[in-house]
Structure 1
C-alpha cells in the first residue's frame, strides 16, 4: 500500500508506520504531535484533520503551559523539549512522535523535487532538478535545521543555478552545505557492513561526490564504489 503525506509518496519506514497507525484511528480522541522545530508538525496536523476528522470541525492548537483546559477532541502540537513535562496531561491521547528530516533520508529525493517545483513556481522559473550527485549530497547531509534549513538551502541553490544559466540542473557546487568534517561514531556492536557504509558515504560527501577522488581515498576501484552506491540507493540510504 502506498502512503501519501505532504504531497509526496512516503518511502521512509518511520513515516509509513505512523501513517499506518493513523489509518486505524477515529475522530474521538485528542491527537498530540511531538517534535523538534521544523520537523513538519503543522503538516501532520493538517493531515490528521483531513484524513481522520474530515468534515468534522476540530481545532489545531500549539500547546502552551498557560492552557488551563484541554478541549477534546483537538489536535495539539508540542515541542520535544516540553513533552516529558506535559506527557501526563495527554495519557488518553493518540501521540505521534514526529521523526526529524535526518530520520527520513528515504523521503529526501521526493521532498526536494516537490520543494523545487514550488520554488520554481514562486520565482517564475522553468523547472530545475537536482543532478544525481546533488541528490546523493543532500541525502548524506546532517539536516540539523530540519525543513527550514532544507528549504532555505534549496532556494539558494535554485537562485544560484538560475543566475549561472545551468540549463535546469542544480549541481553540487550550487548547494551551500556545511562541509566541516564530522567524527564517525562507531559504537561497539555495529555490524561491519554498517561501519563500511557510513565510512564510504562520508568519504563521498566530503569529496563533493567526486567518485574518482573518493575511490582513491578509500583504496577501492570506481566500479566497486559505483556498486556500493547502487546498493545503498536500493536500501534507501541515498
Structure 2
C-alpha cells in the first residue's frame, strides 16, 4: 500500500501519497525519527507503532529493561535493540521452532494446524548478527518460562510473538506482573486467523486479570497492553 485518499476542497476524494503521513507526519510536527523504516517493509504499522511506544517510554522515563519472547530470526528484535540502546534486551526462544507440547494443545483445541519443524531456519549467531548493540543482548535459549527462572527484572517493553496459545498465555502470566508502570506489552497475531489461540490467550488473560488492550491495524493483528 502506498496511497491513501483524502477529501479535496469540493468534498471529493483526492489521491495522495501515504509517505506524507508516515508516523503522524513526524517531519512536519518537528519530530525526529528514531529509526529508519523502509516504506516497503512488510509490516510498517507494527514497526512504526513500536517506534512511537519507545518514544513514550523515554518521554515518561519508564524504568526497566526490554524483552522479546519468540525471536525467530531477530527481524523485530533488532528494532527493539536499536530503539533501546541503553537497556538490556532479553531474547527468549527455543531457536528450534515450536515445541511439541504447544503444538499438541493448539491442534487439540483447533487453534492452528502447526507441526514440529516450522521456524527451524534460525540460530543465535544469525540473530546476534542483526543487532546494532549486541553487547546489550542476553540470550535465554530453551522452553519458556523455564528460561526465566532466577531472572529478577522489571520490563518497560515486551514483545510476545510465539504464535501459539500456551506460550502466549504463559508469557502474559510471567511478564505482566513484572511490567513497570507505564510499560507496554505487544502481542503479535491476535487478529491472525491462522493462529486462533493467540486471541484466546490474550482474552483469557485479560479477562482473568481485568486488563484492557488496544488492537493495531498491522499485518499480524497485534494488540498492545499497557500498565
Give the TM-score normalised by the residue count of structure 2: 0.31
Bigger strand fraction:
2
Larger Rg: 1
Give the TM-score normalised by the residue count of structure 1: 0.30
Bigger helix fraction:
1
